[in-house]
Chains A and B, each alone.
Chain A
Amino acid sequence: MAAVAIPFCMLMLGAFEVSYDSYMQSAMNFAVSEGSRQIWIGNAQGPMSSTNFVTNFVCPSVGFMIDCTLITMRVSPVRPVTSNDFWQFMKNASPGPLPYYSTGTGRSASLTTNTWSVCTGGPGEGVLVEAVYAGPTFVGGFIPNFVVNTASGLVHPTYAAQGFVNQTNFTTTSVC
């Protein structure tokens, strides 16, 4: 009995974690979609910090689903608009093709989202909205590259993104 208790519990926890991660992926998809909508209709405009964007424009809609303090978001205009598109922008992103949000491998990997910020772009510009949720992990630490290391311990990052083009007839007051 004792011999099977540990693998049995790990299987149960693993099944729970898979369900939890799937729910988080769906919730984060909704979060980036909601953030995109706020930009598209003109509510969220100009440069701001990730925290401001999440708190003021995303959390009011998704806060009941997820812990907003664990979300980091980046909003990047696809530039230059005359000779660029999402393929080129994501391929030529630095330090590597998107999506990237961590550095290192295995359990020593760490998040790079602390430098993320928000720039909602100008009229007619392509905009890429990205979000990472640094959620808890239960048995994910046993799976290579499933977790990253943070100051608060191992977390499992859930990534979501949304691409769209700003409305062309906006007269934004603070184009970044």
Chain B
Amino acid sequence: MLEFAIIAPVMVLMATAGFDITRALITWQEVDDAAEWAAMSAQSLAVNPGTPGSTPTTTLSPQQVTLAMTTIYGSIPQIFNGLWSGKYAIVMSGVQWYTIGGVYNPYLAWTTTLYQQAPSETTAQWDGTFLRACSTATQPVLPQVTTVPDNVTVLQSVPTQNISTASTFLVVDIHYHFVPILPGLDYLTGPIDFYTSFAFPNLIGPNTQVLTFDGGNLNDGWNCMVPQNT
């Protein structure tokens, strides 16, 4: 009896920790899938083949961007119904390529969040600090990385390393802060934040076709500076 009294709390603790770690892995899987499907959805919506013989266009409207970003609630319904209490954010951006000295370089053409498009369609868990930063005149080229670094709130690089054929990319970034059930687990592991980015190329048109966002007011923050070819 005494032995069981000693071992029972340890067993419960181990079972809870195991549950939390497994749940974290499942969350990671769902966040990853959500970013992928949101990017694919936006690229689908951007395709406008037009009439036969005409040049296809790839322009997203605010309503289309909102529809694509709200796929996060379908992909992670636990956020929508409040079952998961962690902070989250979804950012959608367009990356274009320009040649400098014969080399293609990526620039951030536009970037927006679900909160910026439809503030009433986010929950109180929205993480307002998770954004993408536009390039600057002094540093117009975005650094290319294999994966977006963790533990950042403002993203300043794009997951487009080793791309030999320049094509307009649509990038979706999602952040989710996992909240474990077991008190202190995040104390042991550090903050459990999932940052995922998915870059999806243009579905139609030539590689250099620009994927634009018709966001209306140019001064409300979504439009980044686009440099000229040199």
Interface residues, chain A, with chain B CB atoms under 8 Å away: 3-4, 7-8, 11, 14-15, 18-19, 22, 25-26, 29, 33, 36, 40, 78, 81-82, 84-88, 90, 97-99, 124, 126, 128-129, 159, 161-169
Contacts and interface: CB of A to CB of B under 8 A. Distances in A.
A143 B29 CA distance: 27
Contacts of A168: 44-45, 47-49
A22 B74 contact: no
Contact of A15 (B18, B63, B81): B18
Interface residues of B, number: 42
A14 B70 CA distance: 36
A159 B26 CA distance: 13
B40 A11 contact: no
A-B CB proximity, top 10 nearest:
A163-B74, A165-B41, A163-B71, A86-B70, A87-B121, A4-B4, A22-B22, A85-B70, A164-B37, A85-B67
Between B23, B30, B72, the greatest number of chain A beta carbons within 10 A of the residue's beta carbon is seen for B30
A122 to B, nearest CB: 12
13 contacts: A18-B22, A22-B26, A29-B30, A81-B67, A86-B74, A87-B80, A90-B80, A163-B75, A164-B75, A165-B40, A167-B203, A168-B44, A168-B47
Interface in B1-43: 1, 4, 8, 11-12, 14-15, 18-19, 22-23, 25-26, 29-30, 33, 37, 40-42
B23 A22 contact: yes
Nearest to B76: A161
Interface in B95-146: 118, 121
Contact of A161 (B29, B48, B74): B74
Interface of B: 1, 4, 8, 11-12, 14-15, 18-19, 22-23, 25-26, 29-30, 33, 37, 40-42, 44-45, 47-49, 63, 66-68, 70-75, 77, 80-81, 118, 121, 203-204
A98 B77 contact: yes
Contacts of A90: 73-74, 77, 80
Nearest to B7: A8
Contacts of B66: 85
Given A7-B8, A14-B15, A164 B41 contact: yes
A15 B8 CA distance: 12
Between B8, B15, B25, the greatest number of chain A beta carbons within 10 A of the residue's beta carbon is seen for B15
